[in-house]
Structure 1
Amino acid sequence: MPLLTTRPSPAIKICAGLALVILLGLGSWQVDRLFWKQNLIAERQAQATQPPIAVPTDVAPDPAMAFRAAYAEGHFLNDQEMYLMARTRRGNIGFHLITPLEQEDGRIILVNRGWVPQDYRDPSTRPDSLIDGNVRVTGVLRLPQTRHWVQPENEPLENQWFFVDVDAMAEDSGADLASRYYLELDETEIPGGLPIGGQAKIDLPNNHLEYAITWYSLALSLIVIFILYHRRPQKDDAES
């Protein structure tokens, strides 16, 4: 059966061309994101696996130090706990427990000790988490956070924090801050099981290769459909 080749209208050409450019652009963007995410994960893993250093004090936070393995020594001020709200773990809602750690010189480092289920906000429900005495804790350095546009404002009066504003937290607790970094603890076994450390996101989800393949596949499908539509089989006169 002979093929009937039709000439696409200018409008169809323009629409198909724009769609193709968009699909190829989205695929290429995902490839760029793939390499960016791979590099980011590698950097975080390299930082987190180095020998821990003491939390730097009296210095401006350096983005290059983010997720660097670090430690701090002192005792927890359990009566000054702060709650970083709306944090999930395996689909369960809860919060991150931030406790000031007082060093020997009396100055404070903020410590994100890990995740706690929402029902255990009252310290009396988790007495084993109220550790007394001097401790040495290890984790990774984190930088002060700024509010993302989708996040609520912090509510210090209600002790509800939605992002880690180190300066505001120190002011609210009256702490003499030793460092504007805060320490996010690694996963270590704690009597009673709470809080659960190791919440720092080192290995990030990386699905950009699948996304790139999807966009490029759609672009290829568009090309095939465009060609097939304009090269349709010609009907015989008897059938017309």
Structure 2
Amino acid sequence: MLRRLLTPRWLGALALAALYAFGAYQLGHWQYGRHEFKVERNALLDAHYRADPVPATTVLDDDPVDRAKDDWTRVSAEGRYDGAQVLVRNRPNNNVFGYEVLAPLVLADGRTVVVDRGWVPNSERGASVRPVVPEAPAGEVSVVGWVRPLETTQRKTLPEGQVASISRPDVERAWGREVLDGYLVLDTERAADGSTPARPQPLERPDRSLGPHQAYAFQWWLSMPVGLLLIWLGIRRELREEIPGRPAKPKKVRIWDEEDY
């Protein structure tokens, strides 16, 4: 069997089997990496999502949010909404597309935090028509929410008051002011008199599913020796067919051939 394996035909098959095994290992490693990423994300959510809020400025500043440490940190902030609300276009919420509503919250020190107040559906007249959006409350407000990193700008030209992503250049251009590098997904919002203002629909909770990545990783790794197994079976079959005196395999007679007799 070893001598047969060293023939050009089977050496080529062996090379293909080795290439497949290498590719299967890499794909399995990639899938397992995706699984580990989601496990770490869930651990971060467990630590942050229902924790007592900390002041927003202990997490948000002029540097990007540290995804590995500060993403989904629950924070609180006090200030005034100062500026028109901006709509983020083409955003899903519970599998329906609409807009996320951003408002600029100016803190006591003059810095501005981007607050995602929630979601509204598209107007019945189409995505290019501004839907009815609950106004941001006037006066002092106290907000509690979760810190998220800002997104990459998509550099799209949209109607006034709309942006394509929650990116620093887009919101700063829309409001004409600098903002802290990160934004706050609103959980609760209270006015100075203790009332709860009307707001857009809350965003759906973060996805905690692990998905099938771990199973896919094991499937790829278990398939690594398939090529070698096929080679062994192929060589074994060839050698058996070359045994002297081995009866020939009977020829299969098709039904329509039998009808000719």
| Match of residue 164 from structure 1 | 166
Per-residue deviation at 1:73?
A: 2.0
Provide the identity percentage.
Answer: 23
Equivalent residue runs for 1:94-173 within 5 Å: 94-104=98-108, 107-119=111-123, 125-127=132-134, 130-147=136-153, 152-155=154-157, 158-173=160-175
Check the 8 A contact 2:90/2:98 in 1, yes or no.
yes
CA distance in 2, matches of 1:130, 1:94: 18
Whole-angstrom distance in 1 between the partners of 2:130 and 2:141: 19
Asked whether the equivalents of residues 112 and 185 of structure 1 are also in contact (C-alpha less than 8 Å), the reply is: yes
| Residue of structure 1 in register with 2:224 after alignment | 219
Tell whether the 8 Å contact from 1:75 to 1:102 is kept in structure 2 after alignment.
Answer: yes
Over the aligned positions, Cα root-mean-square deviation in angstroms equals: 3.4
Equivalents in 1 of 2:74, 2:139: separation in Å?
A: 23
The 8 Å contact of residues 156 and 172 in structure 1, kept in 2 or not, is answered as: no
Tell me, in whole angstroms, the C-alpha distance in 1 between the residues paired with 2:188 and 2:13: 58
| In structure 2, C-alpha distance between the alignment counterparts of 1:19 and 1:124, rounded to whole Å | 53
What's 1:239 paired with?
249
Post-superposition shift, 1:20? Answer: 1.3
1:195 alignment partner in structure 2: 201
Partner of 2:56 in structure 1? 55
Asked whether the equivalents of residues 41 and 203 of structure 1 are also in contact (C-alpha less than 8 Å), the reply is yes
2:87 touches 2:101 (CA, 8 Å); kept in 1?
A: yes
Cα distance, 1:140 vs structure 2: 1.0
Q: Deviations over 1:146-199 (max 9, x none)?
A: 24xxxx32436633322222254134313464x3332112378x8777332355
Consecutive unaligned residues in structure 2, runs of 5 or more = 190-195, 251-261
Give the letter aligned to residue 28 of structure 2.
G
Structure 1 ranges of 4+ moved more than 6 A: 120-124, 190-193
Q: Which has the higher contact order (CA 8 A, sep 6+)?
A: 1
Q: Does the 8 Å contact 2:55/2:77 carry over to 1? A: yes
- The one-letter code sitting in structure 2 at the alignment partner of 1:112 is D
Q: Could you tell me which amino acid in structure 2 is paired with residue 237 of structure 1?
A: P
Provide the C-alpha distance between the structure 2 equivalents of 1:165 and 1:99, rounded to a whole number of angstroms. Answer: 13
1:170-189 equivalent positions in 2, closer than 5 A: 170-175=172-177, 177=179, 179-186=180-187
| Contiguous gaps of at least 5 residues in structure 1 | none
Instruction: After TM superposition, give the deviation of residue 23 of structure 1 in Å.
Output: 0.8
TM-score by length of 2: 0.70
Equivalent residues of 2:75, 2:144 under 8 A apart? yes
Aligned length, in residue pairs? 228
Larger-Rg structure = 2
Match of 2:214 among 183, 198, 209: 209
